[in-house]
């Protein structure tokens, strides 16, 4: 009587053999010979790992595991972390902050891929309204010209890849809800930067950059307003001066 062929399945994770397969000890399956190849292919597709089949002292060489998606994912996470740490710099130069009392709003700059005409007009109008209001709320007085510092807002539409979940103005929840969409990883997005310069020297001393604040197709007035408020949120409140103290300048 001819004994049935025995198929041994050994799992490989991350390129090294696992002595203890994740599904318990290796199981011996009595299968016809014609089904062994199909079994190996099914393990490859369902488990995402390579397998080795052993029967009657014969071996089928391990299948090659495709590491490309994992490598790309790791690199994207590292790159995203570096970008996030670099862009949220805020203070980028030295300044005697207590000497700042007045400011002027200088300009709104729109660059990158073409915006629709009404979108660009809305960016200009809302930036010139929301940003000065945010600085006035911090007890700085707005003047038309000759202030202690001036503010510039920059909008850019550009294609980006693998955005940080916390970049989006709607929050991380909205980001993960869109994770299955084709444009989630690679698409046209809006980037916002608010810069503050010292008027006397023209030196940049504060900068807030918000990359991937929302997708181009998500352009709404509400998101533009929320993005501008978020950009100016961390600028410090004016330092009040005590009139009873002597002026050392």
Q: Are residues 201 and 106 in the same domain?
A: yes
Whether 208 and 87 share a structural domain: yes
In a domain, 244, yes or no: no
User: Are 54 and 85 part of one and the same domain?
Assistant: no
Does 162 share its domain with 203? yes
Per-residue pLDDT of the chain (249 residues; tens, 9 = 90+): 444 444 444 433 333 344 444 443 344 444 555 556 665 666 555 545 444 444 444 444 444 555 566 655 666 555 544 444 444 569 999 999 999 999 999 999 999 999 999 999 999 999 999 999 999 999 999 999 999 999 999 999 999 886 777 888 988 776 676 666 665 667 899 999 999 999 999 999 999 999 999 989 999 999 999 999 999 999 999 998 777 766 555
In a domain, 249, yes or no: no
122 domain residue, yes or no: yes
Q: Which domain holds residue 10?
A: 6-59
SS (H, E, C) the chain: CCCCCEEEEEEEECCEECCCCCCCCCCCEECCHHHHHHHHHHHHHHHCCEEEEEECCEECCCCCCCCHHHHHHHHHHHHHHHHHHHHCCEECCCCCHHHCCEEEEEEEEEEECCCCHHHHHHHHHHHHHHHHHHHHCCCCEECCCCCCEEEEEEEEEEEEECCCCCCCCCCHHHHHHCCCCHHHCEEEEEEEEEEEEECCCCCEEEEEEEEEEEEHHHCCHHHHHHHHHHHHCCCCCCCCCCCCCCCCC
Task: Say if residue 87 is in the same domain as residue 143.
Answer: yes
CATH of the domain at 141: 3.30.160
Q: What is the pTM of this model?
A: 0.61
237 is a domain residue: no
Residue 71 lies in a domain: no
> Does 126 fall in a domain?
yes
Residues 103 and 216 in one domain: yes
| Paired tokens of 45 | 């597709």
- If asked whether residues 123 and 217 sit together in one domain, one would say yes
Asked if residue 65 is part of any domain, the answer here is no
- Placement of tokens 């590292």 in the chain: 78
Report angle CA 176, 181, 185 to the nearest 5 degrees.
Answer: 75
Does one domain contain both 225 and 166? yes
User: 215 and 94: one domain?
Assistant: yes
Residue 145 lies in a domain: yes
| Residue 88 CA to its chain's centroid (Å) | 12
Does residue 153 contact residue 104 with C-beta atoms inside 8 Å?
A: no
Q: Are residues 86 and 176 in the same domain?
A: yes
C-alpha neighbours within 13 Å on the C-beta side of residue 159: 3
Per the structure, how many domains does the chain have? Answer: 2
> Do residue 50 and residue 159 come from a single domain?
no
Which residue, among 109, 91, 110, has the nearest Cα to 100 in the 3D structure? 91
User: What are the φ/ψ torsions at residue 34 (nearest 5 degrees)?
Assistant: -70, -15
Same domain, 131 and 19: no
């Amino acid at each position: 009587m001819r004994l049935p062929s025995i198929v041994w399945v050994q799992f490989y994770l991350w390129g090294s053999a696992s002595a203890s397969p994740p599904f318990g000890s290796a199981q011996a399956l009595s299968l016809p010979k014609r089904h062994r190849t199909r079994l190996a292919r099914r393990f490859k597709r369902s488990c995402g790992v390579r397998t080795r089949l052993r029967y009657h002292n014969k071996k089928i060489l391990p299948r090659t595991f495709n590491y490309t998606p994992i490598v790309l994912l790791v690199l994207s996470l590292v790159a995203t972390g570096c970008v996030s740490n670099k862009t949220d710099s805020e203070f980028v130069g030295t300044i005697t902050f207590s000497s700042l009392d007045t400011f002027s709003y200088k300009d709104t700059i729109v660059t990158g891929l073409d915006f629709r005409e009404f979108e660009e007009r809305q960016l200009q109008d809302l930036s010139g309204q929301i940003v000065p209001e945010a600085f006035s709320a911090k007890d700085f007085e707005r003047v038309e010209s000759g202030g202690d510092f001036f503010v510039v807002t920059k909008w850019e539409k550009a294609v980006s890849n693998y955005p940080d979940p916390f970049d989006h103005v709607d929050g991380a929840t909205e980001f993960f809800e869109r994770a299955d969409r084709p444009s989630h990883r690679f698409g046209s997005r809006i980037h916002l930067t608010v810069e503050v310069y010292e008027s006397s020297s023209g030196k940049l001393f504060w900068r807030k950059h918000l990359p991937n604040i929302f997708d181009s197709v998500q352009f709404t007035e509400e998101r533009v307003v929320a993005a501008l408020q978020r950009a100016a949120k961390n600028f410090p409140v004016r330092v009040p001066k005590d009139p009873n103290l002597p002026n050392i300048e």
